[in-house]
A and B are shown apart, each in its own frame.
Chain A
Amino acid sequence: MYAQMIKSEGTKREDMSPQELAFQARIDRGEKIEPKEWMPEGYRKTLIRQIGQHAHSEIVGQLPEGNWITRAPTLERKAILLAKVQDEAGHGLYLYSAAETLGVSRDELFEKLHSGAMKYSSIFNYPTLTWADMGAVGWLVDGAAIMNQVPLQRTSYGPYSRAMIRICKEESFHQRQGYSIMMTMAKGTPAQKDMAQDALNRFWYPALMMFGPSDKDSVHSEQSMAWKIKMNTNDELRQKFVNETVPQAEYLGLSVPDETLAWNEEKQGYDFAEPDWSEFFEVIKGNGPCNRERLEARVTAWDEGAWFREGLSAHAEKAAAARMAAE
């Protein structure tokens, strides 16, 4: 997902102190945990890792789409894409703010992103080669994000939950604008339809990877689910995503690049092929097609923006001094 393979450090129930047990009981009752309240160190650390990675994904996620803003086919599509990418900056901000309530600063999180100590979602390490990719990204990538973010609105940590509620309100526009691009292209010339099919072919498996490794290989899920910072298992969400997406592809007249794909009446869901997990682990390790480019773009933006941040600070200090003198 936007947060993948988050390492979670908790205490087993039988080893919990009375305070930890009381904390777990609050979560079990569905109470929200707020910033200044007592929480186990593991809960705090795991949340920082997860919210931080989620925030990083929002802002790095701007890059593959930002790539197409100046080349959008119409002024309207350009304005829409610009608005979508701007929303993602907002999503990053909501999430960094939520992480900051846990006692980490935004600059610390940036540093960890830039040094490679923290990750962002694997999906943003794939290139966006044609305009149809803007359709596939909105439809599939934002679509997969929605699958994960909707249940997270009920997460136990108050600021995270409120950030998710805000994000979910904006996310549906993202998916629809993507699908609308796909509809236009699928109904267009044969060449345009081919582009749409090609985009689906390239983004299908990376989108499935967004949900993280299969449950049997997902070591930290259990603790995170007990803490309600992970609401569903990876496989559950992936299945749900496939079930919803396949009919949408059919409507477009495009085919999902999976020959094994078949409706399974018994489980009321599709059987589908797993993505190539060795590819996923390579991308996570930094060896995806665009890892280096993405990180470089982030670091450059941060370094080359330094004079601007400092200039604004200097202006604020000067204005404050002038106000003091006038009083």
Chain B
Amino acid sequence: MTHKQWPLWEIFIRGQHGLNHRHVGSLHAPDAEMAINNARDVYTRRKEGVSIWVVPSSEITASSPSEKGPLFDPAESKVYRHPTFFDIPEEVGKM
């Protein structure tokens, strides 16, 4: 059989107005329009969304698991980026 498999698409759904689109899964479709149609049928049957993005999976560049250390470890030692690092006396009031 000469059948060519449809490309894979990653599906992002905005759950409610004001929220970010979130990755919900993937599906196969011949083109973007069909990917949106299928995403509607598969991922929003219970009013889970108000907007859909579809992106060809092949267009996504991901960080590799082996880079986890160099990418994310440096943030570990920079706890002063969080407000809780600083003790503010109670007398000062809400800050």
Contact = CB atoms under 8 A, between A and B. Distances in A.
Contact of A313 (B6, B8, B45, B62): B6
Interface string A54-85: 00000000000000000000000000000100
Interface in A294-320: 306, 309-310, 312-313, 315-316, 319-320
Contact of B31 (A34, A166, A319): A319
B62 to A, nearest CB: 7
A216 interface: no
Interface in A95-113: 97, 100, 105-107
A310 B3 contact: yes
A106 B25 contact: no
Nearest to B32: A316
Interface size class of B (residues with CB under 8 A): 20 to 34
Nearest to B8: A100
Nearest to A303: B1
A94 B25 contact: yes
A29 interface: no
Nearest to B38: A93
Contacts of B1: 306
A159 B46 CA distance: 21
Interface string B54-86: 000000001011000000000000000000000
Contacts of B28: 106
A86 interface: yes
Label chain A's interface by main secondary structure: helix
Contacts, number: 50
B24 to A, nearest CB: 8
B5 interface: yes
A170 B6 CA distance: 27
Interface string B1-34: 1011110100000000000000001111011001
Interface string B30-44: 110010000001100
A306 B3 contact: yes
A199 B48 CA distance: 35
A312 B42 contact: no
A34 B8 contact: no
Given A97-B27, A105-B5, A309-B6, A36 B62 contact: yes
B3 A34 contact: no
Given A36-B62, A36-B65, A37-B65, A93 B27 contact: yes
7 contacts: A36-B64, A36-B65, A86-B41, A97-B25, A107-B3, A306-B1, A316-B31
Interface of A: 34, 36-38, 83, 86-87, 90, 93-94, 97, 100, 105-107, 162-163, 166, 170, 306, 309-310, 312-313, 315-316, 319-320
